[in-house]
Every structure is written in C-alpha cells, then in structure tokens.
A and B are shown apart, each in its own frame.
Chain A
Amino acid sequence: QKEVEQNSGPLSVPEGAIASLNCTYSDRVSQSFFWYRQYSGKSPELIMSIYSNGDKEDGRFTAQLNKASQYVSLLIRDSQPSDSATYLCAVNPWGGGYQKVTFGTGTKLQVIP
C-alpha cells in the first residue's frame, strides 16, 4: 500500500463548479497535511496546509481533514480554467521538527470553460 494515495485523474469539471480532490494516507500518526499545486512544466507551490481535524478555508479553497478515516480533501469552489493543474497531497507523519514529507502522485484537474 502506498503511503499517500490519490486518484490520478484527470478530473474534469465545468467552470464555476466545485472541484473535489481526495487523498488517503496509511500512517495513522501523521501530523501535518499539505496541498500543492503544480502547473505543467513548473514546480509545486503550496496552496493549503492543515493540522487539525475539520475544515480550513482560504478564499475559494477548503481543506478537510479526517484523521480517524485517514482522509484529507481539497475543495475548490467556483473553479476557473486557471485552476487546471496537478494537485499534490503531501503528508508529514513524523512531526517534532522532522520536516520530511511524502507526496502522492497527484490528481490532474481540468476546468472546462
């Protein structure tokens, strides 16, 4: 079983819709969770981090964490064509200042105008 799993997609949504991206992880003691966005040919950039169960909102983005189910998701409201990219889920199971994270292979999102 992979440590961090994501559906590779592509996930296609119409412009203005909600895009829902999902990620599961295997290590129950994981501490920190991140969503990175990577445009084609570019480097990953952090868009959200979440550390506690529940929802965290930042503009059109909402991260949801459920540690009991070992599940983290990213919702993008009012999706725009500029949101088309690959979204990488990353997990740090160690905490305590150990900063290594494990990345999923990413979900490709396509927002159709």
Chain B
Amino acid sequence: DAGVIQSPRHEVTEMGQEVTLRCKPISGHNSLFWYRQTMMRGLELLIYFNNNVPIDDSGMPEDRFSAKMPNASFSTLKIQPSEPRDSAVYFCASTPDTDNEQFFGPGTRLTVL
C-alpha cells in the first residue's frame, strides 16, 4: 500500500500564478480531505469529499481556491491567482467509510513569492 500520494512535494511560484496541487487517496477510501497548515492557524480543513462529491467546502478561504475530485483515485486543489499569504503546507488525507482514522499524505510545501 503506497499510502496517500501528493504532488508536487514542493512548489515555489510567483504571486498571480496558478497553482495546482494533486492527490491520490488510498485505494478503497471513500472520503478525501484537503487541509492547510501554517504556524499561526494550525491545521485547517479546506474541503471534504465523500464518494467524489464535495460535502463541506466551508473552509475554502475564497473564490481563488477550487477543488475537484473527478474520480475515486484523484483530486486537485487549485489556487488562481496565488498570493503570498497562501504560502503553507497543504495536506491531503483519506479515510474509509467504516472508520474515522485519517491517513495523511506527505504534504505539498507551497511558497508564493
């Protein structure tokens, strides 16, 4: 089992550019979560999918952020346009329906200059 896979692991971009983060959940897991972690705010839930359907996107900070899950094995988080305050570590996590344990990916460290 490869665990949750995220790419890229590091991303450095300039303000105003589009950023796309990718996630492959663990096979068989029905729920997928995107988090953002900063020193100031800790780990914040951005959006939660169940069976590829967005269930709760109340944590998405603004319209510049969007997320999709076109199938059970792939999700993207897009920021357009990016701003320096978006700099953070973005984690993807997945969990099976039968359990609450969330398995986290290695994260993407985003730096917006």
Contacts and interface: CB of A to CB of B under 8 A. Distances in A.
A18 interface: no
B70 interface: no
Chain B interface main SS type: strand
Contacts of A103: 42-45
Interface in B40-94: 41-45, 48, 50, 55-56, 91
Contacts of B107: 43
B97 A97 contact: yes
Contact of A99 (B31, B41, B103): B31
Nearest to B96: A99
A99 B45 contact: no
Contact of B104 (A43, A98, A99, A100): A43
A98 to B, nearest CB: 8
A105 B42 contact: yes
A45 B104 contact: yes
A44 interface: yes
B1 interface: no
B43 A99 contact: no
A97 B99 CA distance: 9
A46 interface: yes
A93 interface: no
Contacts of B48: 99-100
A62 interface: no
A88 interface: yes
A70 interface: no
Contacts of B44: 103
Interface string A79-113: 00000000010001000011111111110000000
A25 interface: no
Interface of B: 31, 33, 41-45, 48, 50, 55-56, 91, 95, 97, 100-107
Given A49-B100, A104-B42, 10 more contacts: A43-B91, A43-B106, A43-B107, A44-B91, A88-B42, A99-B95, A100-B45, A100-B48, A102-B45, A103-B42
